[in-house]
A and B are shown apart, each in its own frame.
Chain A
Amino acid sequence: MEILVCIKRVPDTSENEITLNSAGNDIERDDLVYSVNEWDNYAVEEAIQIVDRVGGSVTVVTVGDDESEEVLRREMAMGANNGLLLSDDAFAETDGRGIATILKAAVEKGNYDLILTGAMADDGAGQVGGMLAAMLDYPFASVVNKIETGDDKKLKIGREIEGGNQEISEIELPCVLSIQTGINEPRYVGIRGIRKVASVEIPTMGAGDLGVDAGALAPKVKRLDYFVPEMGEGAEMLEGSTEEIIAKLLEMLKAKGGLK
């Protein structure tokens, strides 16, 4: 099975406090630690496991800048066979629909049976996979937490729906699936693995190579600013020494029935 996995380089929210820059038009990006989007890492692991079972190859692709190469390399160290960087100044200001348009062009340059994305990325949108499927006229399923390979025409999949229930379906290939975390346990990538792929040449394609017209990337949706919302009153923050905080907290817990 030829599998394409779409991945994105994102600020790692478990490593960073996200703050606004002084102009308020972006987050402060200077000291951010970036990594591969959590959901995408599960998607790559799943692709590798499928190929281990039925043969084929895994290609990881990202739309990004030069620095995005590092996440391609990381996922190649995990076991993805090929990397593909889609990069062009014309790609910079686009929206989710534009990202899907670029990815569609890349899909059409290849010959993939299965395309995986993450269920969502740092923007919390969860849009690129479904859009890509619609552009390709492929069937789509979101929040997939199980993939069973049978014959080469279809897959049996599970979607994790509300309450943790699992919706089982059959889907024809080629298709696009957005992957939910927990579908597998992504393998650890050590420094040695990274070193092994450090000098592998990663092809880059721009708008011209892909035949993407800049007009098709004009965003319908634009971000105006970033701000920190003031939601309600917020919590009463307990301050002081740990002893003082604990004393206050115990009092509150007793009053609220939090201690038995």
Chain B
Amino acid sequence: MAQIFAYIVHKDGVADDTALELLTAAKKIDPAASVTAIVTGHGAELDAVANEMAKAYNEVWKFDNPALAYPNAELVRPLLVKAVPSGSIVLIAHDTFGMDLAPGLSIKMDAAFVPDVADIEGVDGETLKLVRQEFGGQVSTHVTADISGGAVLTPRGGVFAATESGVSGAVVDKSGEIGELSAKRRFIEVVAAEVGDVDITKEDVLVSIGRGIEDQDNIEIAEELAKAMGAVVSCSRPIVDAKWLEKSRQVGTSGQTVKPKVYLACGISGSFQHLGGIKGNPFIVAINKNPKAPIFQVADVGIVADILEFMPELTEAISEAN
């Protein structure tokens, strides 16, 4: 069986939630695998992450260099190509760093690439069988990857439960093998997302609208419902892309992480990037005209309806009850 590596994303000395999920994913490929974590970065923060990872992974490869202090995929990719033996399987979380690093890595390693892996079924000879989703989660598919030349996989965050194995692994300092670090892309700075007029992360009840709202003029319908409920309006990404609401109202991986008690998803299909922003297990009510919308798989309560008709009726009923 090929050697398995997990690339660990971390920030401010703390490993990302996906760090231990990758170990679970690796064990689904090969339960007997001795999985090696790879951490790149610089200084005390890197050491903290490396030591933390050694409590779960049998071996941790540490690459320390000031140039790696901020994760630049254009620098990390050649480093991995050099360090990882050919034919290996490399796991990288499917986040914006993984999207930067992984596809090109698979080409440079001449290995199979399977992005956004939703499940792993196992290996048969040199064939790895996995599950992915397409069309925004409306359908799933089984895919096979020929891993005879290795593989790069990017597991979706949150679908593999973290492994708490409590081993005492070894941290191996590989900094000496980094060699020259240069890239045609130079990191300058991170500009923090704008703060808006309301803080949806602090609200208990959210009336969240998606592309199903259809038109800017219909936003009012959601605002009226929110007002009647004592809630605040949030939204999915397309609403912000269309400039109908401020970016600070967007729920999802590239928006806000909210933890309300009640989340009303109106005309939202339920893509994993959207769901990734909903935490704390709220009571989710989904209203969608498509009975097959993926949001119904994660909602507590579902209503098949046209939101443009249903929301005003709900508003009216609430107003009447008061």
Contact = CB atoms under 8 A, between A and B. Distances in A.
Interface string A131-159: 10111001111110000000000001011
B254 A127 contact: no
A222 interface: yes
A45 B235 CA distance: 24
A164 B256 CA distance: 8
A20 B143 CA distance: 16
B278 to A, nearest CB: 14
Size class of the contact patch on chain B: 35 or more
B133 interface: yes
A249 interface: yes
A227 B140 contact: yes
Contact of B103 (A130, A139, A223): A130
Interface in B52-102: 72-74, 77, 95-97, 99-102
B107 A134 contact: yes
B136 interface: yes
B135 A246 contact: no
A131 B106 contact: yes
Interface in B285-302: 285-286, 290, 292, 296-302
Interface residues of A, number: 83
A27 B321 CA distance: 45
A123 interface: yes
Nearest to A129: B103
A162 B113 contact: no
B314 interface: yes
Contacts of B284: 235
B315 to A, nearest CB: 10
Nearest to B94: A126
A18 B297 contact: no
B132 interface: yes
B191 A224 contact: no
B290 A224 contact: no
A222 B107 CA distance: 17
Interface in A26-55: 27
Given A250-B318, A257-B262, A258-B262, A228 B134 contact: no
B303 interface: yes
Interface of A: 11, 13-14, 17-20, 27, 96-97, 100, 119, 122-131, 133-135, 138-143, 156, 158-172, 175, 178, 180-182, 185, 220-229, 231-232, 234-238, 242, 245-247, 249-250, 252-253, 256-260
18 contacts: A97-B106, A127-B113, A139-B185, A159-B100, A161-B96, A161-B190, A164-B247, A164-B254, A166-B193, A167-B189, A167-B190, A169-B188, A222-B144, A224-B141, A227-B140, A234-B296, A235-B297, A246-B317
Task: Please list the 4 inter-chain residue pairs (A to B) with the smallest Cβ-Cβ separation, ordered nearest first.
Answer: A260-B230, A130-B103, A235-B302, A134-B104
